[in-house]
């Protein structure tokens, strides 16, 4: 069943009703144009749509398996979104591990869901609250004024993306889960940097440490994980897991001797320039801290001499006074080898992003 509803009490009620009936739910992003919503519902094979006008049967829908809870469209950060099929066992495992890590107390805590419910960052908050009987407030998207008002009225826990965090006073919350894009270089002590994906129903690694039940390994530089939170398959029936249950994330990373995870970025994002490997995220973290840069993405542009030239695509804080390439190079060389410094600068008005704020480098 597709839920084509905004965030709020009705969405939560319809979600619970579908689960009680043994159906799985596809949340449909209400920010998509109507035609795009229809296309998504078609691709994911929903048999019913619930929208503001009621419940509608559709022809050509596909069955779900017993125990399936959700079909979640992936973020599409690398192209066409896929439908991750998550079971009740998987979403419950995520909810319980998260609640344990945050020491959630239903008698004193209150969750606020203010991210889009078509994405795991927002929907996972709802599911955690429902499965642990923790009080819940659901907003129809992020509004800074409404978020701060919710905190004053008793919300203690929420999940945000870094761009949203920058627009509120975070001190009123006991804990804020952060995900969706690169972490800001400096952030409040009550924030928790999370690593996860649609396929794990949100974060399963907090501050580099796996939650209970989560195994991590690195194979050929790629982060792989195995845990009860993993998807059953994609909606087309393909299973991305290895035969022994490991999920290749397509993210590059490393584990410390103690087992703490560092993520460098997507495997395909790595730039090879002059025979050296450059991870865009490492360069972006340095540049993002400069006062004349509002947003930045680092990509490799084909170059006849270097193979690829490290290129900083920047939204300047003041378009009339854009940053200087040499200043950017100097800033990067203070922290990284000289070959990581940008060789070119491109100025843009905005960066293409997913709805949760991830830069879509493939569109640059």
Residue 77 pLDDT exceeds 50: no
Judge if 211 and 301 occupy the same domain: no
pTM of the model: 0.82
Per-residue pLDDT of 9-50, as tens digits, reads 999 999 999 999 999 999 999 988 888 899 999 999 999 999
Same domain flag for 319 and 175: no
- Work out the pLDDT band at 58, boundaries 50, 70, 90: very high
Nearest to 123 by CA among 177, 180, 202, 66: 202
Say how many C-beta atoms besides its own lie within 10 A of residue 247's C-beta.
Answer: 20
* Out of 66-75, 98-107, 128-137, least confident range: 66-75
- According to the model, what pLDDT value does residue 276 have? 86
* Per-residue CA distances from 356 to 20, 156, 159, 313 (Å): 29, 22, 11, 19
Q: Report d(CA 357, CA 23) in Å as an integer.
A: 30
| Residues 276, 259 share a domain | no
Which backbone phi and psi does 144 adopt, to 5 degrees? -60, -45
User: Residue 228 is part of a domain; what is its CATH number?
Assistant: 3.40.50.12780
Same domain, 320 and 290: yes
If asked whether residues 181 and 313 sit together in one domain, one would say no
Both structure tokens of 204: 């399963």
Same domain, 109 and 171: yes
* pLDDT number for residue 113: 97
User: How many domains are there within the chain?
Assistant: 2
- Do 105 and 195 belong together in one domain? yes
Name the domain boundary from 263, 292, 310: 263
CA 111, CA 121: separation in Å to the nearest integer?
13
| CATH number, position 297 | 3.30.300.30
Say whether both 146 and 210 belong to one domain.
yes
Q: Show which of 232, 263, 294 is a domain's final residue.
A: 263
In our burial notation (b when 16+ CB lie closer than 10 A, e otherwise), range 194-209 reads bbbbbbbbbbbbbebe
Helix, strand or coil, per DSSP, at residue 109: coil
User: Residue 8: is its pLDDT beyond 60?
Assistant: yes
- Mean per-residue pLDDT of the chain: 92
pLDDT exceeds cutoff 80 at 356: no
- The helix or strand, by DSSP H or E, that contains position 160, with its residue range, turns out to be strand 157-160
- pLDDT for 86 beyond 60: yes
Give 47: exposed, middle or buried? Use CB within 10 Å, 0-12, 13-18, 19+.
middle
Same domain, 235 and 101: yes
| 3 state SS of 280 | helix
Q: Using CA atoms in the order 53, 59, 65, 66, what is the torsion angle rounded to 10 degrees?
A: 50
Q: Express as a percent the part of the chain with pLDDT over 70.
A: 97
pLDDT for the residue numbered 78: 44
Looking at the fold, whether 208 and 60 belong to one and the same domain comes out as yes
User: pLDDT class for 57, splitting at 50, 70, 90?
Assistant: very high
Residue that is last in its domain, among 263, 290, 315: 263
196 and 294 in a single domain? The answer is no
Q: What are 223-238's pLDDT values in tens digits? A: 999 999 999 999 999 9
| Interval 322-351: pLDDT, tens | 999 999 999 999 988 888 999 999 999 999
pLDDT score of 184 = 79
**What is the model's pLDDT at position 79?**
52
Domain that holds residue 293: 270-363
pLDDT > 50? residue 361: yes
168 and 249 share one domain: yes
């Amino acid at each position: 069943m597709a839920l084509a509803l905004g965030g709020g009490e009705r969405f939560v009620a319809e979600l619970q009703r579908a689960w009680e009936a043994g159906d799985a739910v596809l949340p449909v992003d209400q920010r998509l144009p109507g035609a795009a919503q229809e296309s998504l519902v078609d691709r994911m094979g929903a048999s019913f749509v619930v929208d503001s006008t009621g419940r509608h049967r559709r022809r050509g829908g596909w069955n779900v398996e017993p125990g399936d809870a959700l079909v979640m469209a992936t973020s599409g950060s690398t192209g066409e979104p896929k439908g991750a099929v998550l079971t009740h066992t998987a979403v419950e495992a995520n909810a319980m591990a998260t609640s344990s890590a945050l020491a959630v107390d239903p008698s004193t805590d209150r969750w606020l869901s203010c991210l889009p419910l078509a994405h795991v960052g927002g929907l996972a908050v709802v599911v955690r609250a429902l499965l642990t009987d923790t009080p819940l407030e659901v907003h129809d998207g992020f509004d800074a004024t409404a978020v701060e008002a919710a905190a004053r009225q008793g919300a203690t826990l929420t999940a945000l993306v870094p761009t949203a965090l920058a627009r509120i006073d975070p001190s009123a919350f006991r804990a804020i889960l952060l995900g969706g894009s690169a972490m800001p270089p400096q952030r409040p002590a009550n924030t928790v940097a999370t690593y996860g994906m649609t396929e794990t129903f949100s974060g399963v690694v907090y501050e580099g440490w796996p939650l209970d039940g989560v195994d991590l390994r690195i194979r050929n530089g790629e982060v792989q994980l195995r845990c009860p939170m993993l998807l059953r398959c994609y909606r087309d029936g393909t299973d991305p897991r290895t035969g022994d249950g490991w999920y290749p994330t397509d993210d590059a990373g490393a584990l410390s001797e103690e087992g703490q995870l560092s993520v460098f970025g997507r495997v395909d994002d790595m730039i090879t320039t002059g025979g050296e490997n450059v991870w865009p995220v490492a360069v972006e973290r340095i540049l993002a801290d400069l006062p004349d840069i509002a947003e930045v993405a680092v990509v490799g542009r084909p170059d006849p001499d270097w193979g690829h030239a490290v290129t900083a695509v920047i939204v300047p804080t003041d378009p009339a006074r854009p940053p200087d390439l040499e200043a950017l190079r100097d800033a990067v060389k203070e922290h990284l080898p000289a070959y990581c410094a940008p060789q070119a600068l491109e100025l843009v008005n905005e960066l293409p992003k997913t709805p949760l704020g991830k830069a879509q480098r493939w569109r640059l």
